[in-house]
Structures are given as structure tokens and as C-alpha cells.
Amino acid sequence: MASQWARCVQWVSPSKDLMAIPFVPRIDNAPYAVSEQMSPLIQRVIAKNPSKFSYHGTGTYIVGTQDVVVIDPGPLLDSHQVALAKALEKKNVVGIVVTHCHSDHSPLAAWLHEYTNAPRYAIGPHKTYEGWVEEDDHDPSEDDPAESVNEDDEIERETIDLGFIPDIAVADGSVFFSTAEFSLTAVATPGHTSNHLAIAMDAENALFTGDHVMGWSTTVVAPPDGDMRAYMESMHKVITRTDSVLWPTHGGPITDPQPFLRAYLEHRIEREKQIVQQIAAGNDTIPGIVKVLYAAVDKKLHRPARRSVWSHLRKLVDDGVIVTADGGAPRLLGNYQLAN
């Protein structure tokens, strides 16, 4: 395995452009707190929580016309709660689905459950990791003086809603909800988080992808719960499907899924090759690798990028391609080298 990757580094240049992903048109001007009709059976309400993780904001989907299912109720934001209540006034909410437990997706599920008495569906709660201590990789040179410390701390990483527990845990491949208009099937897509769920809707041959696939950017895969091997396997899984449209929680709809998905996966594969090339050239730390491979990316995104590189390295160490310099577990601030 290691010799195969050693050959790869001969032709992967750190300046080589990654596979171009055909991102969908930006939705920067999409209105907040307004219910938009996106398709015959889908409405979307965008929360006003823009950030480097959530892009323009969290898109909550209302599926159906009378008996409806709400997907990703969103963050604890008064304006979003009021907008959802208004959008649902003349509808019968029969289900609430959460793709995963990041705090821009699931917290309003508690209010919506109490407001409607509709059951909450998900793969399960977010996993906890006893004894896990996050290394601080803060680099003061990357601070933006225009941002306050409090704002930077708030948006530095995706926070977790550990209080969310579904009323009904769904199993991969199960048709877990059905109305006269549509049915929903669970598509487990671990990687971004271990409990990540995509939802297939038969009536429009659509897949709600949460954060597994986003319309505006690649997805952060951050340890300990984010797992790059699982993420790439989930990408292969979604590629084998024949969905006509993807509805991400962040960004616009992807109406030509196959080229998009294949480019999305190829981007990850090429990034992994670039990481190996950097280590072979002696650039053996994650911050150092990110400074080279993400040089054209806003520095505000470098810390999340380090976590995705870290996830790649955890996979590469497990594959026997890379080893840690000290022989220990792959660390965010560790040193790495090619395996012999």
C-alpha cells in the first residue's frame, strides 16, 4: 500500500488544481424567514444564521402540502421559529426529521415537537467520546482584527446538540414515513458525523443530503465523530443512487447529481494524494500542509481545513500509507512521515 502511494507523489503537485466541483448558483440573495415554494411538494425556510459553516443559513424543508414532514428544523433563532410557525399554520405536521445533531440543524426540533406533537426521526443521538481532549491549534497570525473574539469563538467550529434524542430511530434503507403524497426512506451517510442521515423522497425522486453534500462547498469532516473513510464510503453509496435532484441543508438544489457527486468524491481523493505528496516533500505537520494546499482559501477556513486534513491522515495511518513520527496516534499537532 505504501509503495503505491509513494508512486502517486511523483505526479501530484501541490499546486495542481483539484477536481473542479460544479457548485450550484449561489443563493446569497435568498430571503430569510420566508417560506419559498421550491417544487410541488417542497417548501424551504432559511434561517438567518450565516457563517463559514452554514453559508447563507440553514435551509429547513417542509415536505408535503397538508400532512407535512419538516426536515432539519434548524438553530435556536427566534426569527426562524416565528417563520416556521407561520409557514406551518394551515398544515398538519406529522413528522420531524433531523439529518444530524449539529447546532444549526437540530435544536428547534424540541420546540417543534412540543408545538405539533409530531415524532422526531433520526439515525440516533450524537455520540460522545469519553476522555477526548481537543488540541488547541489556534494560530494568532490568522486572526482577523475585524472580528471580535466572542464572534470568532462562536463560529470557530460546528457545535453539537447533545440534547437531541429522536423519538424514533430509523434504520438504513427503511421506509420510515409515508403519506398519500410521498414516502421517505432513510439513507445512512456517516462521515460528516457518525449519525448522519440523508432522506430519499419517492414522489420527486429527491434526496435531502443534509451536510453530506452541500451546494456551495465541500464538507468538513472533523474527528473524533467525523470519519473520512466512512465519508468516502458514503459518497460511493450516494453515487450508486439515481436521484434526480439533491436538496442540501446549505446551498441551492443540485439538479444534475451525478457529475457533481463524482467531482465531489474525486476532490477528496485528489486532496488525499496531495497530503501524501506534501509529507513526502518534508512538510510533515497539519498546519504546514494546510498553509500550502489551502493557500488560496480564506484563512478563516484554515482551522476547519486542518480538521479535514487530520481526518485524511487518520485514514492514511490506518491504511499503512503514513505513520506518525512518534509512533503514537495521529494528532492534530503531530508530525507525520511516509511508511517504509
Give the pLDDT of residue 21: 85
The CA dihedral of 308, 292, 300, 220, to the nearest 10 degrees, is: -20
Is residue 246 located within the same domain as residue 275? Answer: no
Please state, for a pLDDT cut of 70, what percent of the chain lies above it: 86
Is residue 178 located within the same domain as residue 246? Answer: yes
Backbone angles phi, psi at 58, to 5 degrees: -80, 125
- The whole domain housing 144 covers 27-255
The DSSP letter of residue 20 is: P
Strands 36-39 and 42-46: antiparallel
Q: How far is CA 52 from CA 86, 154, 171, 305, 317, in A?
A: 28, 11, 31, 12, 29
Is residue 133 one of the residues assigned to a domain?
A: yes
Is residue 300 one of the residues assigned to a domain?
A: yes
Is residue 169 one of the residues assigned to a domain?
A: yes
Q: 419517492: which residue's cell?
A: 202
What average pLDDT does this structure show over 70-87? 97
218-250 tens-digit pLDDT: 898 999 999 999 999 999 999 999 999 999 999
Given a cut of 70, whether residue 14 has pLDDT beyond it is no
The CA dihedral of 292, 293, 298, 302, to the nearest 10 degrees, is: -90
Which CATH number covers residue 335?
1.10.10.10
Give the pLDDT of residue 133: 64
Q: How confident is the model at residue 340 (pLDDT cuts 50, 70, 90)?
A: confident
104-136 tens-digit pLDDT: 999 999 999 999 999 999 999 998 887 666 676
SS3 string of 243-271? CCEEEECCCCCECCHHHHHHHHHHHHHHH
Which of 255, 285, 319 is the C-terminal boundary of a domain? 255
pTM over 0.85: yes
Is residue 18 located within the same domain as residue 31? Answer: no
Backbone angles phi, psi at 67, to 5 degrees: -85, 110
For residues 133 and 285, the model is more confident at 285
Given a cut of 90, whether residue 189 has pLDDT beyond it is yes
Contact 71, 134 (CB under 8 A): no
Is residue 160 located within the same domain as residue 275? Answer: no
Is residue 221 located within the same domain as residue 155? Answer: yes
Is residue 65 located within the same domain as residue 155? Answer: yes
Is residue 192 located within the same domain as residue 241? Answer: yes
Count: domains in the chain:
2
What average pLDDT does this structure show over 289-297? 92
Which of 199, 226, 255 is the C-terminal boundary of a domain? 255
Q: How confident is the model at residue 52 (pLDDT cuts 50, 70, 90)?
A: confident
> Edge-to-edge strand order for the sheet containing 36-39?
36-39, 42-46, 59-63, 67-71, 92-97, 120-122, 168-169
Is residue 244 located within the same domain as residue 295? Answer: no
Give the pLDDT of residue 136: 66
Given a cut of 70, whether residue 152 has pLDDT beyond it is no
What average pLDDT does this structure show over 157-180? 93
Contact 192, 221 (CB under 8 A): yes
Q: How confident is the model at residue 142 (pLDDT cuts 50, 70, 90)?
A: low
Residue 73, preceding bond cis, omega within 30 degrees? no
Question: From the CB of residue 256, how many other CB atoms can be counted at a distance below 10 Å?
Answer: 12
Is residue 58 located within the same domain as residue 194? Answer: yes
Which residues in 301-339 are b (16+ Cβ under 10 Å) and which e?
A: bbbbbbbbbbbbbbbbbeeebbbbeeeeebbbebebebb
200-209 tens-digit pLDDT: 999 999 999 9
Is residue 181 located within the same domain as residue 48? Answer: yes
- The DSSP H or E segment spanning 69 is strand 67-71
Give the pLDDT of residue 139: 60
Point out the least confidently predicted range of 144-158, 162-176, 185-199, 203-217.
Answer: 144-158
Which CATH number covers residue 38?
3.60.15.10
Is residue 34 located within the same domain as residue 133? Answer: yes
Contact 224, 230 (CB under 8 A): no
* Residues 102, 107: Cα–Cα separation, whole Å: 8
Is residue 277 located within the same domain as residue 233? Answer: no
Please state, for a pLDDT cut of 90, what percent of the chain lies above it: 73
Is residue 264 one of the residues assigned to a domain?
A: no
Which of 224, 255, 286 is the C-terminal boundary of a domain? 255
